[in-house]
Chains A and B, each alone.
Chain A
Amino acid sequence: MSSRRSRSRQSGASRITDDQIIDLVSKLQQLIPELRGRRPDKVSASKVLQETCNYIRSLHREVDGLSDRLSQLLASTDTDSDQAAIIRSLLM
């Protein structure tokens, strides 16, 4: 465990160690397709943060685009609870 005590207590939060941050950043790295395969020590934290932001934005755009497509597909489809049951069984 890191024995750094140089940081003063932050307002309301317990002392955050560097190890914790490194841990969390590498955990994040594994979620990002761009960076997933790379070794954690080869990828800088700022790179991970940047790619995380890009990835979140692209996911938002995807949700957007899929909502758009659904709105057009549903316009000409009769959705009822039977259909919902079918879909549910396909997705589960």
Chain B
Amino acid sequence: MMNTPQQVKNPSSSLKSRFITRFLGALTKITAEDPISSSSPTRIFQRYRRIKVASNKSMAYSVRSRRIWSRAMLSRFRSRRSAFSGRRSSVKTTNCTTSPPPALIKVTINEKKTAKGGLDMQTDELRELVPGGEAMDVCNLLDETAHYIKCLTTQVQVMRKIVDFYHLSK
């Protein structure tokens, strides 16, 4: 059964502020470790990747282990880290650190719905997009997706404002 917590404090604003604090901290670190005057394409690309990871990480850490998707993301980050340090982990590691898993050549059957339980077939696509989606039952998948979308929109919202800020201060 799904519980719908209605806490006295607005939970999403504290999530947002946790994300902001973490993400800004990460940005400060990223720019501190990079020579300011450096603007070579390679540098900028590396920075882009670090920023993207920082954004996703900051959100996942802000949600902590309260959600299946955030737990899945956090364990992904940890397994990546241990892979880089040379230890072999049992979890399969992806080669690329920031992009989603390589697209399988798969035909998504949309026009043809099965008579019964048509929902199961159509959740395949969604399962690939939501971290940890493969193992969730339909109920959890839908619930987790809703939360995941809320978090993504918060990420985007905050990042846009930061971009605007820097844009205006130039």
- Using CB atoms and an 8 Å cutoff, list the residues of chain A in contact with chain B: 10, 12-14, 16, 20-21, 24-25, 27-28, 31-32, 45-46, 49-50, 52-53, 55-57, 59-60, 62-64, 66-81, 84, 86-88, 90-92
Contacts and interface: CB of A to CB of B under 8 A. Distances in A.
Interface string B2-29: 1000000000000001001100110110
B39 interface: yes
Nearest to B157: A91
B160 A49 contact: no
B123 A49 contact: yes
A86 B161 CA distance: 12
Given A28-B142, A63-B56, A63-B155, A21 B165 contact: no
B129 to A, nearest CB: 5
Interface stretch (B60-68, B76-84, B86-94, B145-153): B145-153
B17 A59 contact: no
A55 to B, nearest CB: 7
Name the interface size band of chain B.
35 or more
Contacts of B52: 63-64, 67
B74 interface: no
30 contacts: A14-B1, A24-B143, A25-B142, A28-B142, A28-B145, A28-B146, A31-B146, A46-B110, A46-B122, A49-B122, A49-B126, A56-B130, A56-B152, A60-B129, A63-B159, A67-B48, A69-B163, A70-B159, A71-B45, A71-B51, A73-B163, A73-B166, A77-B166, A78-B31, A84-B25, A84-B28, A87-B20, A88-B20, A91-B162, A92-B17
B167 A87 contact: no
A53 B125 contact: yes
Contacts of A31: 146, 149-150
